[in-house]
Structure 1
Amino acid sequence: MSRSERLLDLLQVLRRHRQPVGGRRLAEETGVSLRTLYRDIPSLQAQGAHIEGEPGLGYVLKPGFMLPPMMFSEEEVEALVLGSRWVAKRGDNRLAMAAADALAKIASVLPPDLSESLDTSPLLVGPRQPIAEGIDLGLLRKAIRGERKLDISYIDNDGRDSRRTVWPFALGFFEQVRVLVTWCELRQDFRHFRTDRISRALVSDQRYPRRRQALLKDWRAAQDAAPDMRGTRRG
């Protein structure tokens, strides 16, 4: 492994840890000696990485450090291309455009050989059947980002139309459907709503009382207890 690859690996490991992590653990995760690690930390700091800490206390990478573009590996570029192509096929129009724009920005700063590989990547995403949406998914994403309550009209499996006030905090993309993950005020529980069955949605000016991250954490705990999403309640 070259020195640049070793430093990149160390950066990636630091990015995975939000709290200070000890030097010995960092050395184990990167596969180097503790002595080498203690040399690599100052090298990254000299290159502008905001790494705080010292031996015996642990290290943490502060937000804001951007990786130089030449440090993307070929597999990382392929992963970006595959992800963008998946979003273009499986996401809504706005997400598809955003994926294309993001990829174009990445291409503009990549070295020529890696930039060319964006267009020539052999990793493809297969076609899917069109999904008839009842609502603009961009509106749902806006409500999620802003942690706003959402008033919806929903048609259930039996064709009944009901109105709900929900706290949207996630949007799931599946092969044939998209699912809005919420806390439902009526049911006082987590509920999943197929977006193609939402006939109306109005974003409220009122923020819901819990943070989106906290709702997502509790929902994941509920999924661990019943991991098959199809077994959870909808509507």
Structure 2
Amino acid sequence: MRRADRLFHIIQLIRGRRLTTAAYLAGRLEVSERTIYRDIADLQLQGVPIEGEAGVGYRLGAGFDLPPMMFTQDEAKALVASVRMAQVWLDPAMSQGAQDALGKILSVLPPDARVAAEALAVYAPPGGLPAATQRALQTLREAVHERRKVFINYRDLADRSSERTLRPLGCFYWGKVWTLAAWCEQRNDFRSFRVDRVTYVRRLDEQFRDEPGRTLADLARLNEANAREQGWAN
């Protein structure tokens, strides 16, 4: 890769993430971290507002932008395939957002790349999430974003029904099945709920803040600890 291309890719990678480490950039671009440090310093000298420092990470300052990226035909095809497959497994609002974003990207492509992408013979037929599950997923996803509690009716795998008030923490896709990770106020503990088994959901007016022991990061640490214990037990 030419150095000019590498510098361009560094900017694109940094602006696509909240915080980007030199190790990540080095791995993606297949160069040493020392090379990344030199490239970052050169970009900063050229006036690119890259903020951060070695050993911590980098981000792009506000107000900086580049002309639209010129995707290759293979990259454009990958975007089209990704959106087509994702749409049938997303909620309506997110699905429409993905389609709108793809349209904006295709509109700035060179004609040959756009034609190749739109002619891609890769499709995802309807039949992904049922309409009721789509609606529940959208409500839960928006509640996660707004940090707003939800009330749900839930029917578990044993067909037992329960009512819960939850702090929704994140939605996870497992291939045909979405789950909600949440702090359950009835159980005073973390719980996971299959979205397709939520029979009723309502966002509440009450918002919540992060509290020690009740965050998504706490849940991730707990899951990692449980995985290690199971690994040692085996």
Asked whether the two chains share a fold, i.e. TM above 0.5, the reply is yes
CA distance in 1, matches of 2:115, 2:45: 31
AA in 1 matched with 2:146 = G
60 and 191 in structure 1: CA distance in 2 versus 1, 3 angstrom threshold: same
TM-aligned CA deviation for residue 191 of structure 1: 0.9
Aligned to 2:19: 18
* Same amino acid, percent of matched pairs: 33
**Which runs of structure 2 are paired with 1:37-76 in the superposition (5 Å)?**
38=38, 41-43=41-43, 46=46, 49-52=48-51, 60-64=58-62, 65-76=64-75
Aligned to 2:143: 143
CA distance in 1, matches of 2:36, 2:172: 43
Aligned to 2:172: 172
8 Å Cα contact 2:40-2:50 kept in structure 1:
no
CA distance in 1, matches of 2:158, 2:126: 30
Say yes or no: does 1:185 pair with 2:185: yes
8 Å Cα contact 2:81-2:122 kept in structure 1:
yes
CA distance in 2, matches of 1:109, 1:222: 45
Aligned to 1:230: none
8 Å Cα contact 2:171-2:181 kept in structure 1:
yes
Aligned to 2:206: 206
17 and 132 in structure 1: CA distance in 2 versus 1, 3 angstrom threshold: closer
Aligned to 2:220: 220
28 and 141 in structure 1: CA distance in 2 versus 1, 3 angstrom threshold: closer
Aligned to 1:101: 100
Aligned to 1:112: 111
8 Å Cα contact 1:151-1:201 kept in structure 2:
yes
Aligned to 2:120: 121
Unaligned runs of 5+ in 2: 228-234
TM-score under structure 2 length normalisation: 0.74
CA distance in 1, matches of 2:21, 2:174: 36
Residue 144 of structure 1 aligns to a residue whose secondary structure is helix
21 and 70 in structure 1: CA distance in 2 versus 1, 3 angstrom threshold: closer
Aligned to 2:82: 83
Q: Which deviations, in whole Å up to 9, do the C-alpha atoms of 1:123-150 show, x marking residues without a partner?
A: 5447655536355322111101101111
Aligned pair count reads: 221
AA in 2 matched with 1:136 = A
Q: Which deviations, in whole Å up to 9, do the C-alpha atoms of 1:195-221 show, x marking residues without a partner?
A: 22212212111112317xx82222222
100 and 210 in structure 1: CA distance in 2 versus 1, 3 angstrom threshold: same
8 Å Cα contact 1:131-1:177 kept in structure 2:
no
8 Å Cα contact 1:150-1:202 kept in structure 2:
yes
Deviates more, 1:89-98 or 1:186-195: 89-98
Residue 193 of structure 2 aligns to a residue whose secondary structure is strand
Aligned to 1:154: 154
69 and 101 in structure 1: CA distance in 2 versus 1, 3 angstrom threshold: same
AA in 2 matched with 1:115 = R
How well do the aligned residues superpose, as a CA RMSD in angstroms? 3.6
AA in 1 matched with 2:159 = G
8 Å Cα contact 1:153-1:198 kept in structure 2:
yes
Residue 70 of structure 1 aligns to a residue whose secondary structure is coil
8 Å Cα contact 2:88-2:129 kept in structure 1:
no
130 and 36 in structure 1: CA distance in 2 versus 1, 3 angstrom threshold: closer
Unaligned runs of 5+ in 1: 228-235
CA distance in 2, matches of 1:215, 1:116: 45
8 Å Cα contact 1:150-1:166 kept in structure 2:
yes
